[in-house]
Structure 1
């Protein structure tokens, strides 16, 4: 017997992964949420009577998918998506993807993500991840509803409760606490030292003044990398190469100095897997590799389906010859925490 709500959520996941319009994703995810609140038996009763579309957020397409699922059939809409969703990965890329234990950069609806923390976590677990580092934005990035110290403290309690619930269900999966903290103009980090010290993993990224002169940007990034609380330098050039936000050129900086600082302080350079970023460019990825840097292959996911973008980063890492032992998220959760703690 099929689970119609699971089928609706799977459709939403595949639409997100394929970067389809947001309203399409919301149609299926919203319908699943609405139908999940019905009393036992009412879903089947309404489907048989043809009254599912009387419910808010349930349209003809989602109702048809539910009816097909209840009949024990894979919904046609889902079958078509599954047929076109395959990723043709070469052997080396597939092997690297399989070696990753988790994702160190993700966002929830606490900042500018589109889904609750639990939904993101369950999607990550469904992909076979052992952990997901939750890295919502810091307060200075107001456009992304960055978390104040008070909201971040509240989030830590929510994560602890969710992890306790996973443990109670016998799941080994865990959410690791984190933040994508803004690297400010002087290289300082946009959150208190006390809170940063409580987090499992800290990603630091430049989101402002991206056109600074190379020397200014270099000092900013080198200063941030020397901060004991920063673990991973996120999307280091800030470039956008496609997508709804348009394109944006790379920030200019002395890559040799920045990557040398990362090696000196044992920090990782992120290989960002978002299709509009794919940051750093391959030429800089090779420079970081030759410098001796560690790396973290991350999705920077803002929705559950985007968590399946890790293959983008793996393909780039393979193309540039990045070995597995340089990638921090091949470590189990305990090993990742130990590495992060070692430079605090």
Structure 2
């Protein structure tokens, strides 16, 4: 068997494996080793890394196991790592067709999570991957306080995160990319939003979602969601039905609400309806996307990424938007940053 040449280096090989596993929504434990290995070898010079490879001591480095050591050694030798080749074979296809025109028009993503809440990677890794995918902007939308299971951010933690976002943007100045300040804020039982108005005003974009009492009575859920759309700082209604149609978390039926009343409220209050790109959600269902289209709603096609590779899930939402005949200009994340921010902060 002839070895396939590979000249991108060990960091690129490890990051690509992690990216592909994340995009395929593999269990986090299968990905962590590759991200941890990147963090270990990044500070090392090539000479030191090669010395370890030549001596067979790569596994003496923190966080380097036999699998990641093999990837590093092969990449240093200029040979395609077997684990990378297997990941490309198993997960190299996005698993979706259609939507290419919509995907090409997208400038960014309004819904993403970092390890500050229930995401798996640091803020800067999410930003770097967004840049590699061609984004002009990414909105960081970690969870709000009520969602304790997802380590939702208190006002104090959110304020600290905003300083980190500023620092990341300082490092990326001149790159043509902006990490925007955001939140996925819980819609509380009475339709209020789970963060102070002062903090919401400091953000660029706000996604508001229902995460609790998904089985609420239809009339009460309708009142709850309509009230949320009337909040002057709400921009995007996230995964509106809360359903799960497949995946490791099992399935979950959709919340019951008067969709016409909710989408009419979205249209009246200039709130975009999210087309959530996660394949396990497919939220809203097709009939509701078409209803929101006919009512005249704006849309946002978002990845709801909890890991860098999941930022590439946008293709799934784009295919659904194209199939529903959503006009490009009604998708807010096809807009330039200045227009997006003017809409989100009138």
More displaced stretch, 57-66 vs 245-254? 57-66
1:46 match: secondary structure: helix
1:176 match: secondary structure: strand
Counterpart in 2 of 1:87? 94
Written as runs of structure 1 = structure 2, the 5 A alignment for 1:234-313 is 234-313=238-317
Measure the CA separation in 1 of the matches of 2:104 and 2:83.
28
2:227 aligns with one of 219, 223, 228: 223
Q: Which deviations, in whole Å up to 9, do the C-alpha atoms of 1:186-244 show, x marking residues without a partner?
A: 10001111110111000000011111111100000000001110000000001111122
Segments of 5+ residues of structure 2 without an aligned counterpart are: 1-6
Given that 1:2 and 1:73 are in contact with CA atoms closer than 8 Å, whether structure 2 keeps it comes out as no
2:19 match: secondary structure: helix
Counterpart in 2 of 1:7? 13
Counterpart in 1 of 2:335? 331
Runs of 4+ in 1 over 6 A off after TM superposition: none
Counterpart in 1 of 2:318? 314
Measure the CA separation in 1 of the matches of 2:169 and 2:130.
14
Q: Which deviations, in whole Å up to 9, do the C-alpha atoms of 1:55-95 show, x marking residues without a partner?
A: 232122211111111112222221232244123654x5111
Measure the CA separation in 1 of the matches of 2:232 and 2:303.
24
State the superposition RMSD in angstroms.
1.3
1:129 aligns with one of 135, 143, 147: 135
1:38 aligns with one of 20, 36, 44: 44
Given that 2:276 and 2:284 are in contact with CA atoms closer than 8 Å, whether structure 1 keeps it comes out as yes
Counterpart in 2 of 1:23? 29
1:11 match: secondary structure: helix
1:152 partnered with 2:149: no
Measure the CA separation in 2 of the matches of 1:228 and 1:41.
56
Given that 1:2 and 1:70 are in contact with CA atoms closer than 8 Å, whether structure 2 keeps it comes out as no
- What is the count of residue pairs matched by the alignment? 339
Counterpart in 1 of 2:4? none
Counterpart in 1 of 2:106? 100
Given that 1:236 and 1:279 are in contact with CA atoms closer than 8 Å, whether structure 2 keeps it comes out as yes
1:309 match: secondary structure: helix
TM-score (norm 1): 0.96
Measure the CA separation in 2 of the matches of 1:146 and 1:89.
32
Counterpart in 2 of 1:113? 119
Given that 2:301 and 2:331 are in contact with CA atoms closer than 8 Å, whether structure 1 keeps it comes out as yes
TM-score (norm 2): 0.95
Given that 2:99 and 2:319 are in contact with CA atoms closer than 8 Å, whether structure 1 keeps it comes out as yes
1:198 partnered with 2:202: yes
